Amino acid sequence: MQSFVLSSEQLNVLFETLMAKMPMMGPKQRSDQPGFYHFDWLKSPGELVLHYTTTTIPPKKAFFPPVETMFSFKLGDPPELTHIIEDTPFVLAGVHPCDLAAIKALDDAYSVPPADKRWLANRRRAIIIGSDCLPDEYCFCTSMNTADARLPCDLFLTPIDRGWLCEVHTDAGKNVLKNIQKDTAQKKDIEDASQWRLQKAEKISTKLNINFEAFAKILEAGGLTPIWKEIADRCYSCGSCNTTCPTCFCFNKYDEFDTTLTSGIRKRVWDSCQLPEFAMVAGEHNFRGERWERVKHRWHRKFLYLFRQFKRPYCTGCGRCSRACTADINMADVINQLAAASEKERSHA
Amino acid sequence: MKKKRIAFFDFACCEGCQLSVLQLDEKLLDLLDHVEVAAWREVMTGESDQYDVAFCEGSITRETDIHRIQNIRQTADIVVSLGSCASIGCHNALKNRWPTKKALEIVYGEQAKHFDSIPARPITAVVDVDYQVLGCPVSLTEFEAVFKCILTGQAYDPPNEPVCVECKRNDYLCVFEKGQICLGPVTRCGCNAICTAFGEPCHGCRGLLDQPNLEAAATVLTADHLHKIMDAVAHQYQLTREEVLDKFSLYNNWPELTFEEDDTHDT
Ligand code: SF4
Ligand code: SF4
Ligand code: SF4
Ligand code: SF4
Ligand code: SF4
């Protein structure tokens, strides 16, 4: 892997050059609340804030928008369908390591046949520029092995004394840097960047007290119903833990007729397994009708089913679900609570 | 196919839902192409008592209202409760916190004897309705969706998902972050989180979910320390359980809101 050094001015030139050619999404300050950031389409490179803490909604929205039109249709024999898939390139900048890991996780999940055409098409459009971060009290990426994730970014930026260390991870990334003034990285620059990562790891206070396999076994063994019920007593089933999660990929679809009643569009929207009707099937049967079953499902899904299928938990430790939960249900705390409960049980047995 | 004849009727309310429907502007004309209008006091004079679909707004607050809505039910094939007064009781049901006589005296003083009144209730509590449109005032998106369902013979169930879902899909800032108290987590969505879009909390005008976790709300809102997003609320407000109920019953006092009636996870 090649690394360069860009001064802040040179980095700005890079973003200006890119934005002259294509739209760019990145973290920027919220206009309605200073000090809060969100991923959005940028009007100018100056709006990009690389020192942001975190965002409520993850950058997956660049590839999988919360509400999108899949196709328009016209009834008839045969009915007409027009798929709406974009192919113009864009840049997604300022993606933290945990969120890069999440995009990789969704690449894998959405590549399983029948692959998700929309996700894959949007992924092909994008140049991804990652950037390193400093954690807050909800982050637990060091426990999830995502603190230093790079795939699938094209370029990755770490703040150093001389400006930014810019790692080149793909040919596309190399291309982007072609006509940009830059310096080759010296030993000191590389050390600066490792120093940043060390500092970050040290700052992380939230840690899991159990490894993935052991936790999967606890879930598999079951018998945790009282704990799930206790958590469910506090849970609203509001779905915010899913709608803020960078690795959640469930969606719902519905049709909207226009006023002619003969043509319309099909939309898809982010869904959530915490919502009461998520698992409702024909005949109003609901195989997770009770709140505690849905709570249980979120942990089972992320740390057991998908862990077994993809050999990695579908959680990056970004902490968004815990931050967003108005009922104060905390992802890492629950894992540690379950681990402790099962430990106690074993020592009694 | 013969065009359906539609009619609009109002009971105790501000008539804001009818007025909102008019704000569909050109779209309304496109929709009305599919029907004939038999009665609609807010937009036309004269009314016919031959109609297939009755859009009824407002709450039932007098004995005479009961007969009138029953009559409408007998005439129409399809009855739609239009808005939260008609569907869930809305503010009107707040008066049920007082004995009817007392409520009459508070409002009309000495003239109270000239008025007849019964505890307020939504239309849905008196007759079966085929469709509900929620909101104070109605969500126009939902009105349009319901209108199209009527025309195409499809059922429509009000969403049983909280406002938080739409709030997050739009990437709005959670108002709890600003120390405000929001009813979004227990309130039916369908308004596209229009209030939080403008930085205002949801007051619950679209009614409670089928299984709102009011106990969770009480736990959260009465706590004296919580995580970051809620700390300002815990510190500034320190609500009591009664105050939590007060907040939640603003639009949702039919039937009278209590914690005991809440369905928690065991339903
Ligand atoms: S965000 Fe919290 S309250 Fe809402 S569904 Fe998730 S765990 Fe439950
Ligand atoms: S099942 Fe639940 S946890 Fe899993 S991806 Fe879907 S919404 Fe997310
Ligand atoms: S489950 Fe929570 S901590 Fe894990 S990736 Fe999703 S939002 Fe982040
Ligand atoms: S502002 Fe209200 S509706 Fe939006 S996420 Fe927060 S609690 Fe839910
Ligand atoms: S956000 Fe709440 S109060 Fe506002 S329109 Fe929607 S349901 Fe009503």
Q: Give the distance from residue B253's alpha carbon to the nearest chain A alpha carbon, in angstroms.
A: 20
A123-164 pLDDT per residue, tens? 999 999 999 999 999 999 999 999 999 999 999 999 999 999
For residues A216 and A199, membership in a common domain is answered with: no
- B225 pLDDT band (50/70/90 cuts)? confident
**CA nearest B234 in A: which residue?**
A326
For residues A188 and A167, membership in a common domain is answered with: yes
For residues A46 and A114, membership in a common domain is answered with: yes
- What angle, 0 to 180 degrees and rounded to 10, lies between the N-to-C axes of helices A331-348 and A291-300? 90
**CA nearest A68 in B: which residue?**
B169
A317 Cα nearest atom in ligand 3: 3
Cα torsion A187, A188, A190, A195 to 10°: value is 140
My answer on whether omega of the bond before A313 falls inside 30° of 0, hence cis, is: no
For residues B137 and B25, membership in a common domain is answered with: yes
- The residue contributing the CA closest to ligand 3 atom 5 is A315
Q: Is there a domain that residue B173 lies in? A: yes
Please, which residues have CB within 8 angstroms of residue B104's CB and are 6 or more apart in sequence?
Answer: B112, B115, B117
The position carrying tokens 């409670």 is B208
Q: Which residues line ligand 1 (CB under 6 A)?
A: A 235-241, 274, 324-325, 327, 329
The position carrying tokens 């429907």 is B21
Chain A partners within 8 Å of B264 (Cβ): 232-233, 291
Domain of A108?
A: 2-203
Q: Quote the ligand 5 centre to A283 CA distance (angstroms).
A: 30
For residues A139 and A42, membership in a common domain is answered with: yes
- B81 pLDDT band (50/70/90 cuts)? very high
For residues A232 and A256, membership in a common domain is answered with: yes
- A233·B264 Cβ contact <8 A: yes
pLDDT attached to residue B47: 87
For residues A173 and A231, membership in a common domain is answered with: no
Best mutation target among A38, A57, A236, A333 (most B Cβ atoms within 10 Å) is A236
| Residue at which a domain ends, from B157, B188, B222 | B157
For residues A182 and A308, membership in a common domain is answered with: no
Chain A partners within 8 Å of B173 (Cβ): 30, 32-33, 36, 56
For residues B148 and B178, membership in a common domain is answered with: no
B206 Cα nearest atom in ligand 5: 7
For residue A152 the two structure tokens come to: 């699938």
- B264 pLDDT band (50/70/90 cuts)? very low
For residues B146 and B83, membership in a common domain is answered with: yes
For residues A306 and A235, membership in a common domain is answered with: yes
Among B34, B173, B216, the residue with its CB nearest the CB of A30 is: B173
Q: Quote the ligand 1 centre to A214 CA distance (angstroms).
A: 25
Identify the residue with better confidence: B263 or A1: A1
B11 touches chain A (CB under 8 A): no
Q: Give the distance from residue B168's alpha carbon to the nearest chain A alpha carbon, in angstroms.
A: 6
For residues B61 and B125, membership in a common domain is answered with: yes
Among A56, A238, A270, the residue with its CB nearest the CB of B162 is: A238
B193 Cα nearest atom in ligand 5: 1
CB B185 within 8 A of CB A68: no
Taking alpha carbons only, the member of B120, B116, B91 closest to residue B207 is B91
For residues B109 and B217, membership in a common domain is answered with: no
**CA nearest B147 in A: which residue?**
A259
Q: Quote the ligand 3 centre to A244 CA distance (angstroms).
A: 8
For residues A155 and A221, membership in a common domain is answered with: no
Among A32, A39, A236, the residue with its CB nearest the CB of B199 is: A32
Identify the residue with better confidence: B265 or B135: B135
A206-234 pLDDT per residue, tens? 999 999 999 999 999 999 999 999 999 99
Res. B110: pLDDT tops 80: yes
Chain A partners within 8 Å of B219 (Cβ): 233-234, 327
The count of structural domains within chain A is 2
B89 touches chain A (CB under 8 A): no
| Residue at which a domain ends, from B157, B173, B196 | B157
Q: Is there a domain that residue B81 lies in? A: yes
Cα–Cα distance list, A155 to A59, A92, A182 (Å) = 16, 11, 14
| Mean pLDDT value across residues A34-45 | 95
Q: Is there a domain that residue B258 lies in? A: no
The count of structural domains within chain B is 2
For residues A157 and A241, membership in a common domain is answered with: no
For residue B42 the two structure tokens come to: 């807010």
DSSP class of residue A112?
S
Q: Quote the ligand 3 centre to A344 CA distance (angstroms).
A: 26
Planar angle of CA B106, B108, B110, nearest 5 degrees? 100
DSSP class of residue B136?
T
**CA nearest A328 in B: which residue?**
B227
Q: Quote the ligand 3 centre to B122 CA distance (angstroms).
A: 42
Q: Give the distance from residue B102's alpha carbon to the nearest chain A alpha carbon, in angstroms.
A: 37
- B99 pLDDT band (50/70/90 cuts)? very high
Domain of B210?
A: 163-247
Res. A187: pLDDT tops 50: yes
Cα–Cα distance list, A117 to A70, A79, A86 (Å) = 10, 21, 11
- A56·B186 Cβ contact <8 A: no
Provide the ipTM. Answer: 0.96
Least confident of A164-168, A190-194, B234-238, B253-257: B234-238
Q: Is there a domain that residue B196 lies in? A: yes
For residues B91 and B208, membership in a common domain is answered with: no
Q: Is there a domain that residue B207 lies in? A: yes
Chain B partners within 8 Å of A67 (Cβ): 169
- B263 pLDDT band (50/70/90 cuts)? very low
For residues B116 and B175, membership in a common domain is answered with: no
**CA nearest B197 in A: which residue?**
A32
Tell me, what amino acid is at B4? K
CATH value at residue B125: 3.40.50.700
For residues B81 and B192, membership in a common domain is answered with: no
- B262 pLDDT band (50/70/90 cuts)? very low
B171 touches chain A (CB under 8 A): yes
Please, which residues have CB within 8 angstroms of residue B266's CB and are 6 or more apart in sequence?
Answer: A290
Taking alpha carbons only, the member of A122, A93, A97 closest to residue A12 is A93
- B260 pLDDT band (50/70/90 cuts)? low
Taking alpha carbons only, the member of B259, B162, B258 closest to residue B215 is B259
Please, which residues have CB within 8 angstroms of residue A182's CB and are 6 or more apart in sequence?
Answer: A4, A5, A6, A10, A166
- B267 pLDDT band (50/70/90 cuts)? very low
Res. A349: pLDDT tops 70: no
A79-131 pLDDT per residue, tens? 999 999 999 999 999 999 999 999 999 999 999 999 999 999 999 999 999 99
Distance CA A52, CA A29 (A): 8
For residues A234 and A343, membership in a common domain is answered with: yes
For residues B172 and B139, membership in a common domain is answered with: no
Strand partners, A27: A39
Taking alpha carbons only, the member of B265, B236, B187, B241 closest to residue A229 is B265
| Mean pLDDT value across residues B191-218 | 96
Chain B partners within 8 Å of A248 (Cβ): none
Q: What share of chain A is helix, strand, coil (3-state, %, to 5)?
A: 40, 20, 40
For residues A274 and A152, membership in a common domain is answered with: no
| Residue at which a domain ends, from B92, B125, B157 | B157
| Residue at which a domain ends, from A175, A203, A231 | A203
Best mutation target among B33, B151, B171 (most A Cβ atoms within 10 Å) is B171
B177 touches chain A (CB under 8 A): yes
- B230·A328 Cβ contact <8 A: yes
Determine if residue A111 is left, alpha or beta; phi over 0 gives left, psi from -120 to 50 gives alpha, anything else beta: alpha
